[in-house]
A and B are shown apart, each in its own frame.
Chain A
Amino acid sequence: EVQLLESGGGLVQPGGSLRLSCAASGFTFSDYAMSWVRQAPGKGLDWVSAISGSGGSTYYADSVKGRFTISRDISKNTLFLQMHSLRAEDTAVYYCAKGHISGWYFYIDCWGQGTLVTVSS
């Protein structure tokens, strides 16, 4: 069974940093692209970042480009999202999500349960 377990969310001050992790199991991690999707309170889904199965290709939404970095550790079956210069508008539940293929472009066939990031002073 595919499982995605996010961690690392919490309360952070504006301008601060946070690193999210997503532990993956139940599939060959390097064979699938992965992504982070967020959802602000009461709002819709917002694609944040994606990384190919090999890790050689990455994508960032304009709203996070230059502030967030996606990476993956294939040896640990773990996806990361390093977030810097956090803003109030980054407050959201962040979902780790598995693509249906290794490359671009993919749909999401499995989602984690989400981790809440709150940016506030």
Chain B
Amino acid sequence: DIQMTQSPSTLSASVGDRVTITCRASQSISSWLAWYQQRPGKAPKLLIYKASSLESGVPSRFSGSGSGTEFTLTISSLQPDDFATYYCQQYNSYWTFGQGTKVEIK
């Protein structure tokens, strides 16, 4: 089974900050990686697919990069709506989520 590890688990930041979340796979997953945002009490929402493709309607301040085993999600300028938990998910071999990264207000 492919394991996904996110870091950090929690991130404290301010509005306007540039934020980067890392996701590492236990083996190569090529670019078969998605990122989701989950606000408290809500269902997750797709942000990025195929490692770097922005889902329609998602603000351009979100971007993804990486391939193989190391990936990053970057928010270029954190907005109030962006305080949430973010999950990576591989779909190269079945499906696995990372444990999540909570972005909280500093």
Contact = CB atoms under 8 A, between A and B. Distances in A.
Interface residues of A, number: 19
Q: Which 7 A-B pairs have the closest CB atoms?
A: A107-B34, A111-B43, A105-B91, A45-B97, A47-B95, A44-B100, A107-B49
Interface of B: 32, 34, 36, 38, 43-46, 49, 55, 87, 89, 91-100
Nearest to B48: A107
Given A47-B95, A47-B97, A100-B49, A109 B55 contact: yes
A105 B100 contact: no
A70 B45 CA distance: 23
B43 A114 contact: yes
B100 A106 contact: no
Nearest to B90: A105
Given A44-B87, A47-B95, A107-B49, 14 more contacts: A44-B98, A45-B38, A45-B97, A46-B97, A47-B94, A47-B97, A95-B43, A95-B44, A100-B49, A105-B92, A105-B93, A108-B44, A110-B46, A112-B43
A50 interface: yes
Main secondary structure of the interface of A (DSSP, over half): strand
Nearest to B56: A109
B78 to A, nearest CB: 22
Which applies to chain B's interface (DSSP): helix, strand, loop or mixed?
loop
A13 interface: no
Contacts of B91: 105-107
A111 B44 contact: yes
Contacts of B43: 95, 111-114
B44 A45 contact: yes
A106 B95 CA distance: 8
A105 B95 contact: yes
Nearest to A95: B43
B81 to A, nearest CB: 18
A76 B37 CA distance: 30
Contacts of A50: 95
A45 B46 CA distance: 13
B97 A107 contact: no
